[in-house]
């Protein structure tokens, strides 16, 4: 009997309770597959969008090398348009593929498998639907704000505060509640290991998101300083952390986002969908449990490996390295477990592209989790960090592991969700092959590029000077690899498009009405008694504690609480939270971790403006500001960076990639004129530069009315601005410095009337980078334009006198 | 004295070390218990869960017999 389903029969009881006390009355229910269909379609649509953006930014790095055709470079608009430039689109690419493609894939898989593993419909259809639409709305708002330069300036956490709030609500409020309540209401007593992975992901991602995004919204700063919030107030914020602490937070977040957004949920999917597709149970369930606990216990400590040789305290980065290396073992345990699940089924693998997708995915999981620990070893890291090696590593994980697992799952689900055979098995096989070739063509050139770059940066000639002194030489060398990478990416994207065609055609062949099978299972009752506590196996004469230990080792406690979702969740939460706190508290509270430097002073108000331009343009996507204490590096860039130098940096801008040179000591090296000319179009000065043009910064204006609030916001976060926060002072100083630079510009090369343009603020900021430590302790950053600022203030006060004959003389002393 | 100075003198560095040891201890306990005999049998049962979860009252998951929608 198969009943098409009416809404009120979704969770219907059958008969009364004449079953034994251990199980409740038989209940009838059906699964909500409509929500799975939605998430699956969203996954593929956003996946294609995200990959397309990836392809565009890949081309941006190669296109400037094309010869001119009829006096213009082909497709140059791609790197000369403000909202298309690399610094803005790269965050869009990463956010789209992580949170939209992988995110929707996770949700599709979780909604499908959780219902079945729990023998229960999702707790609330309304929450499922709010979750779906809420998440898509977040993605759309990301796609709008990021190209506009609205960003927090922290990798993979770029979205601004109102969106962050929405993410918290949708993730924990809608998805979390719905998921956990489904677990509570489940009809299968044992929680299968996939569910554990989902729980850990849910919990940890919440913590990561909340703590990394703690920030002072601009709107709040405006209110606190007595103004009404403006539009800008809702699209700008500054993290409460600065410098070393912000870096630590960010990479604790960044690394664990990889762990708990791209690894654990996908492992949950693997442990569910692989046995399903192979039609055999996982090779070793116990290994999967060990796999789970190892990841939960170890991953959370590994973040600092992103910050080797930086100003992070040494103990933290060594700890990060140790745990990263330890992670290799359980990860491979998981890989082997996955592959051995297919033992005796390799015949099937050769015929079923779904299993092929899974095999490649698991293999890439193994490769990426071997490479990760390797890259976290300091000596390897000194070569690989800041190069394209990182990009290769990330993409072997993302394209291979996440992408192929998602696609395998998709092809397994399509006939089941649309209740009709897959439109074309051939096209699915074609997707598999073109995707695999694309992946290899992406990853190998990027390894080559990364190693080439790393070796060139550190190469010395016989005379002991840098062999490739000019940074752009090291860019020239890898552009051919950039072309190959773009080609590989195109193939991979083509595969995804095959998938979309297949999905669309399968959908078209769906039945007129979906069949909704009815299932039945006894309810769980609260009267269920867990197995009794086992007796100790030790003989008489042992201490009580010995008996207790033996009982503990028999693991009865684990069996009991692994069935209790809420307790299980709380314990996972505790494990993750404790590890994080223990790791972070010392960094935040021990003074010796970030030694202060007396000559390091806060940025001037104009530089602060410039810094916000730097963040908005996403310069950190191409430029680091962190010179490592490595010979080749101090030789190229100057004195290595100290932790005390970025204590006023909310957010830190150390960066993680050097597509362009490090800028930590850029201040004072070149003239203002050079910088403005370079921003206008880098190829005016360096023919082979692949840096985007920033023409728009020569046109758009600095909003000096903003200056006060920006400075006050920094002061609220603890930056010592002294007198500068008083009404009118900061803007006068900003204006004075801008006029000063504009006057210099006229002298140096002829740019006129620039005193209110954003490029001036940016130049001011760049010229400040890294100069403080070579100054005397009592130097005055305002010296050059203090007189000018005093005059502006006096003039303004004079005017105010005329208008409202009452004045409070503002001290123009400025800040120290 | 600021909080930072106070905390600097409190010898907090010992906490990560203790936490580390605790973590390892719990972890070892979990692994040890996972490999007890009893849990093997349980594991084998649990491993069947994903395979047994899709049997409806009347099986009709993949429907090929019905006519597809022709026009939309």
Between residues 188 and 207 of chain A, which touch chain B (CB distance below 8 Å)?
188, 190, 192-194
Phi, psi of A386 (to 5 degrees): 75, -5
Helix (H/G/I), strand (E/B), else coil: A720: coil
Q: Does the beta carbon of A508 lie under 8 angstroms from any beta carbon of chain B? A: yes
What is the band of A808 on the pLDDT scale with cuts at 50, 70, 90? very low
Q: What is the pLDDT of residue A298?
A: 79
Tokens at A291, concatenated: 């796999």
Q: Distance between CA atoms of A741 and A607, rounded to whole angstroms?
A: 12
- Compare all CA atoms of chain B with the CA of A294 and give the residue at the minimum distance: B27
Residue pair A504/A448 in contact (Cβ under 8 Å)? The answer is no
Mutate which: A113, A195, A286, A584, vs B, most B CBs within 10 A:
A286
Between the two ends of chain A, the Cα-to-Cα distance in Å is 82
Is B69 in contact with A508 (Cβ distance < 8 A)?
A: yes
Q: Distance between CA atoms of A49 and A46, rounded to whole angstroms?
A: 5
Mutate which: A111, A281, A418, A419, vs B, most B CBs within 10 A:
A281
Tokens at A675, concatenated: 């910088």
Q: Distance between CA atoms of A374 and A378, rounded to whole angstroms?
A: 9
Least confident of A148-152, A307-311, A507-511, A646-650: A307-311
Q: What is the pLDDT of residue A311?
A: 63
Q: CB contacts < 8 Å between A and B, how many?
A: 163
Q: Which residue has the tokens 């040789």?
A: A309
**Nearest by CB to B46, which of A192, A553, A591?**
A192
Q: Distance between CA atoms of A580 and A786, rounded to whole angstroms?
A: 46
What ipTM does this complex have?
0.71
Helix (H/G/I), strand (E/B), else coil: A774: helix
Could you read off the pLDDT of A434-479 as tens digits, one per residue? 999 999 999 999 999 999 999 999 999 999 999 999 999 999 999 9
Is B26 in contact with A509 (Cβ distance < 8 A)?
A: no
pLDDT above 90 for A679 = yes
Domains and CATH numbers, chain A: 37-508 (1.20.210.10), 605-807 (1.10.760.10)
Could you read off the pLDDT of A146-173 as tens digits, one per residue? 999 999 999 999 999 999 999 999 999 9
Average pLDDT of the residues of chain A: 89
Tokens at A369, concatenated: 């989790």
pLDDT above 70 for A107 = yes
Phi, psi of A2 (to 5 degrees): -120, 115
Is B33 in contact with A508 (Cβ distance < 8 A)?
A: no
Could you read off the pLDDT of A224-280 as tens digits, one per residue? 988 889 999 999 999 998 888 888 889 889 888 888 999 999 999 999 999 999 999
pLDDT above 80 for A188 = yes
**Nearest by CB to A285, which of B27, B32, B47?**
B47
Q: What is the pLDDT of residue A526?
A: 61
Is A586 in contact with B39 (Cβ distance < 8 A)?
A: no
- Higher pLDDT: A73 or A774? It is A774
Q: What is the DSSP string of A12-31?
A: EE-S---S-TTEEEEEEE--
Is B4 in contact with A589 (Cβ distance < 8 A)?
A: yes
Least confident of A281-290, A318-327, A478-487: A318-327
Residue pair A521/A26 in contact (Cβ under 8 Å)? The answer is yes
| pTM of this structure | 0.89
Q: Distance between CA atoms of B57 and A280, rounded to whole angstroms?
A: 22
pLDDT above 80 for A655 = yes
In this structure, are strands A237-239 and A11-13 parallel, antiparallel, or unpaired?
A: unpaired
Q: Distance between CA atoms of A124 and A142, rounded to whole angstroms?
A: 27
Strand positions, DSSP E, A513-648: 519-524
Closest CA–CA distance from residue A571 to any residue of chain B (Å): 12
What is the band of A524 on the pLDDT scale with cuts at 50, 70, 90? confident
Helix (H/G/I), strand (E/B), else coil: A802: helix
Q: Does the beta carbon of A117 lie under 8 angstroms from any beta carbon of chain B? A: yes
- Higher pLDDT: A764 or A525? It is A764
Could you read off the pLDDT of A493-502 as tens digits, one per residue? 999 999 999 9
Is A2 in contact with B60 (Cβ distance < 8 A)?
A: yes
Could you read off the pLDDT of A539-575 as tens digits, one per residue? 666 667 666 666 665 556 666 666 677 777 787 788 7
Is A419 in contact with B62 (Cβ distance < 8 A)?
A: yes
Q: What is the pLDDT of residue A732?
A: 95
Could you read off the pLDDT of A291-328 as tens digits, one per residue? 988 888 777 777 677 777 666 667 777 777 887 888 88
Helix (H/G/I), strand (E/B), else coil: A129: helix
- Who contacts A807 (Cβ-Cβ below 8 Å, separation ≥6)? A797, A800, A801
Q: Does the beta carbon of B28 lie under 8 angstroms from any beta carbon of chain A? A: no
- Who contacts A28 (Cβ-Cβ below 8 Å, separation ≥6)? A9, A11, A12, A13, A14, A518, A519, A520, B57
Closest CA–CA distance from residue B57 to any residue of chain A (Å): 5
Rounded to an integer, the average pLDDT of A668-690 is 95
Is A289 in contact with B34 (Cβ distance < 8 A)?
A: yes
For helices A758-768 and A605-616, the axis angle rounded to 10 degrees is 100
Could you read off the pLDDT of A745-757 as tens digits, one per residue? 999 988 999 999 9
pLDDT above 70 for A588 = no
Could you read off the pLDDT of A707-739 as tens digits, one per residue? 999 999 999 998 999 989 998 899 999 999 999
pLDDT above 80 for B34 = no
Residue pair A132/A39 in contact (Cβ under 8 Å)? The answer is yes
Residue pair A95/A257 in contact (Cβ under 8 Å)? The answer is no
Q: Burial level of A347, CB count in 10 A (0-12/13-18/19+)?
A: exposed
> How many angstroms separate the most distant Cα atoms in chain B?
80
Q: Which residue has the tokens 């909500």?
A: A32
What is the band of A774 on the pLDDT scale with cuts at 50, 70, 90? very high
% of chain A with per-residue pLDDT over 90: 69
Q: Distance between CA atoms of A799 and A44, rounded to whole angstroms?
A: 61
Q: Does the beta carbon of A533 lie under 8 angstroms from any beta carbon of chain B? A: no
Q: What is the pLDDT of residue A664?
A: 97
Q: Distance between CA atoms of A621 and A155, rounded to whole angstroms?
A: 8
Q: What is the pLDDT of residue A811?
A: 42
Q: Which residue has the tokens 């565009």?
A: A56
């Amino acid at each position: 009997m198969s009943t098409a389903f009416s809404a009120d029969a979704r969770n219907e009881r059958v008969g009364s309770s004449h079953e034994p006390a251990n199980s409740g009355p038989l209940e009838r229910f059906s699964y909500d597959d409509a929500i799975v269909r939605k998430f699956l379609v969203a996954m593929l649509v956003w996946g294609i969008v995200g990959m397309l953006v990836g392809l565009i930014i890949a081309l941006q790095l190669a296109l400037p090398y094309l010869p001119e055709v009829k006096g213009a470079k082909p497709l140059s608009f791609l790197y000369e348009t403000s909202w298309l430039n690399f610094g803005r689109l790269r965050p869009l690419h990463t956010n789209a593929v992580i949170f939209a493609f992988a995110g929707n894939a996770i949700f599709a898989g979780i909604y499908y498998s959780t219902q079945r593993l729990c023998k229960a419909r999702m707790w609330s259809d309304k929450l499922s639907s709010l979750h779906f639409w809420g998440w898509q709305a977040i993605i759309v708002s990301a796609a709008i704000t990021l190209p506009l330069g609205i960003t927090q300036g922290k990798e993979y956490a770029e979205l601004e505060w109102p969106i962050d709030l929405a993410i918290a609500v949708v993730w924990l409020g809608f998805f979390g509640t719905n998921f956990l309540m489904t677990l509570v209401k489940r009809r299968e007593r044992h929680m299968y290991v996939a569910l554990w992975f989902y729980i850990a992901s849910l919990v940890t991602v919440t913590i990561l998101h909340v703590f990394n995004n703690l920030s002072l919204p601009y709107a709040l700063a405006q209110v606190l300083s007595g103004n009404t919030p403006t539009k800008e107030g809702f699209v700008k914020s500054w993290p409460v952390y600065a410098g070393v602490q912000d870096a630590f937070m960010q990479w604790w977040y960044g690394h664990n986002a990889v762990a708990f957004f791209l690894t654990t949920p996908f492992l949950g999917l693997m442990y569910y969908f692989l046995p399903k597709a192979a039609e055999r149970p996982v090779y070793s369930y116990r290994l999967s449990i060990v796999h789970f606990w190892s990841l939960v216990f170890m991953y959370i400590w590994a973040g600092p490996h992103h910050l080797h040789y930086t100003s992070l305290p040494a103990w933290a980065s060594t700890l990060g390295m140790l745990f990263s290396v330890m992670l290799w073992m359980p990860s491979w345990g998981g890989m082997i477990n996955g592959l051995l699940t297919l033992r005796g089924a390799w015949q099937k693998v050769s015929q079923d592209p779904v299993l092929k997708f899974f095999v490649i995915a698991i293999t890439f999981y193994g490769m990426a989790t071997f490479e990760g620990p390797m890259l976290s070893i300091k000596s390897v890291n000194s070569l690989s960090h800041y190069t394209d090696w990182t990009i290769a590593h990330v993409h072997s994980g993302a394209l291979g592991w996440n992408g192929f697992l998602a696609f395998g799952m998709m092809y397994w689900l399509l006939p089941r969700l649309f209740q009709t055979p897959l439109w074309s098995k051939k096209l699915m096989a074609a997707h598999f092959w073109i995707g695999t070739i694309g992946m290899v063509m992406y990853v190998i050139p990027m390894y080559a590029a990364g190693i080439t770059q790393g070796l060139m940066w550190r190469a010395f000639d016989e005379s002991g000077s840098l062999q490739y002194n000019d940074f752009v030489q090291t860019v020239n060398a890898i552009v051919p690899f950039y072309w190959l990478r773009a080609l590989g990416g195109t193939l991979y994207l083509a595969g995804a498009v095959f998938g979309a065609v297949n999905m669309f055609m399968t959908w078209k062949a769906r039945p007129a009405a979906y069949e909704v099978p009815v299932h039945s299972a006894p309810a769980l009752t609260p009267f269920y008694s867990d197995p009794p506590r086992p007796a100790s196996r030790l003989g008489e004469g042992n201490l009580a504690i010995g008996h207790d230990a033996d009982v503990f080792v028999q693991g009865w406690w684990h069996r009991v609480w692994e069935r209790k979702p809420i307790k299980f969740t709380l314990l996972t939460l505790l494990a993750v939270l404790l590890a994080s706190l223990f790791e972070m508290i010392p960094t935040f509270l021990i003074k010796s971790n970030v030694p202060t430097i007396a000559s390091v002073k806060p940025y001037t108000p104009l530089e602060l403006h410039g810094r916000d331009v730097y963040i908005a343009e996403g310069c950190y996507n191409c430029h680091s500001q962190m010179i490592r204490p490595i010979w080749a590096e101090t030789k190229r860039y100057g004195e290595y960076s100290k932790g005390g130098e970025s204590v006023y940096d909310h957010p830190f801008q150390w960066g993680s990639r050097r597509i362009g040179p490090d800028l930590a000591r850029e201040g004072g090296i070149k003239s203002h004129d050079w910088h403005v000319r370079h921003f206008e179009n880098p190829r005016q000065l360096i023919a082979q530069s692949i840096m985007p043009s920033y023409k728009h910064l020569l046109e758009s204006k600095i909003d000096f009315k903003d200056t006060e609030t920006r400075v006050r916001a920094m002061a609220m976060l603890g930056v010592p601005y002294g007198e500068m926060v008083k009404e009118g002072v900061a803007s006068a100083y900003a204006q004075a410095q801008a006029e000063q630079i504009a006057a210099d510009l006229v002298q140096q090369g002829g740019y006129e009337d620039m005193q209110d343009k954003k490029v001036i603020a940016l130049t001011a900021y760049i010229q400040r980078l890294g100069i403080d430590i070579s100054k005397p302790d009592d130097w005055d950053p305002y010296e050059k334009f203090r007189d000018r600022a005093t005059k502006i203030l006096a003039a303004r006060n004079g005017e105010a006198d005329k208008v409202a004959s009452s004045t409070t003389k503002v001290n123009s002393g400025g800040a120290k | 004295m600021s909080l930072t100075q106070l905390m600097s003198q409190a010898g907090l560095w010992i906490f990560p070390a203790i936490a580390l040891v605790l973590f390892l201890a719990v972890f070892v306990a979990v692994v040890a218990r996972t490999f007890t005999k009893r849990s093997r049998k349980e594991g084998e049962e649990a491993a069947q869960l994903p395979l047994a979860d899709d049997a409806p009252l009347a099986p009709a998951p993949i429907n090929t017999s019905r006519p597809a929608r022709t026009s939309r």
